[in-house]
Amino acid sequence: MGIKGRVHSLETFGTVDGPGIRFIVFTQGCPLRCKYCHNRDTWDSKGGKEYDVDELIHEIVKYKPFMISSSGGLTVSGGDPTLQPEFLKSLLMKAKDSDIHTAIDTSGFVDIDVIDPILDYTDLILLDIKHINRDAFKDLTGVYNDKTLNLAKHLSDKKIPTWIRYVLVPGVTDNEDDIRNLCKFINTLDNIEKVEILPYHSMGRFKWEELGYEYPLKGIEDANDEDVLKASKIFKDYGIDIAIK
């Protein structure tokens, strides 16, 4: 039997977490405590179900024809998969052995020496930058953004293809100066293939309440078209075309 990891859930025909049709493994456990998290139930690293890597790969390869025809592959998301580095590395390595495109969806809160050996088996990183302002990032997530920004620079140095994802939350992440500073940072990187704006929605609130927690952003309106258009124009000022999820 191979290395085991804790998994929250699986999605066999994902279309929003990387290119093409993707098999998505949502791992259990997250080092961040995002106030808008819509998967509050992934935080507990002891939750979910234990899976063996070989068992997972056996399932994943069944969908390889759909991946090939759509230029898709495997995405490991979460929670945050970098909390289980041995499991993540083994899973991606075996996926590459089966000629499957690999992607990691991460907040980037990981030490470089931990993720570096994993990058050898990674075709694409989906990097969630929650906020460019260090203190605002801490207020939103419970941690500072140093590791995230360091990882972004490291990925650029290693020329690992990367998509930046930014959740647009009215009154929280939509400050114009902050978005301009984010754009300036993105423009220092040489490996960015796409920048995605994810408009905030409050659909995850029920999970918080279901688990007995008060939703931190109660009263914050969902991001609307006007909010997205305003942010998009700032990105465009810096020569950055954005995709909207």
Task: Give the up-direction half-sphere exposure of residue 12: CA atoms within 13 A in the CB hemisphere.
Answer: 11
Q: How confident is the model at residue 203 (pLDDT cuts 50, 70, 90)?
A: confident
| pTM passes above 0.75 | yes
Number of Cβ atoms within 10 Å of the Cβ of 229: 10
159 pLDDT tier (thresholds 50, 70, 90): very high
Cα angle: 222, vertex 210, 145; to 5 degrees: 55
pLDDT for 149 equals 98
Looking at residue 171, its pLDDT comes to 96
pLDDT for the residue numbered 145: 98
pLDDT, tens digit (0-9, with 9 covering 90-100), for 94-141? 999 999 999 999 999 999 999 999 999 999 999 999 999 999 999 999
Cα 154 to Cα 139: distance, rounded to the nearest angstrom: 25
Residues 218, 221, 223, 226: what is their CA dihedral angle, to the nearest 10 degrees? -160
Interval 38-72: pLDDT, tens: 889 999 999 999 999 999 999 999 999 999 999 99
Q: Check whether 150 has a pLDDT greater than 80.
A: yes
d(CA 99, CA 95): 6
- State pLDDT tens for residues 3-36: 999 999 999 999 999 999 999 999 999 999 999 9
pLDDT tens digits, 62-100 = 999 999 999 999 999 999 999 999 999 999 999 999 999
CB atoms within 10 A of CB 64: 17
- Report the pLDDT value the prediction gives residue 21, as an integer from 0 to 100: 97
Pairing label, strands 4-14, 49-52: antiparallel
Give percent of the chain with pLDDT exceeding 90: 95
pLDDT at 1 over 70: no
Asked if pLDDT for residue 2 goes beyond 80, the answer is no
Beta carbons of 78 and 27 less than 8 angstroms apart: yes
| CA–CA distance, 33 with 39 (Å, rounded to integer) | 10
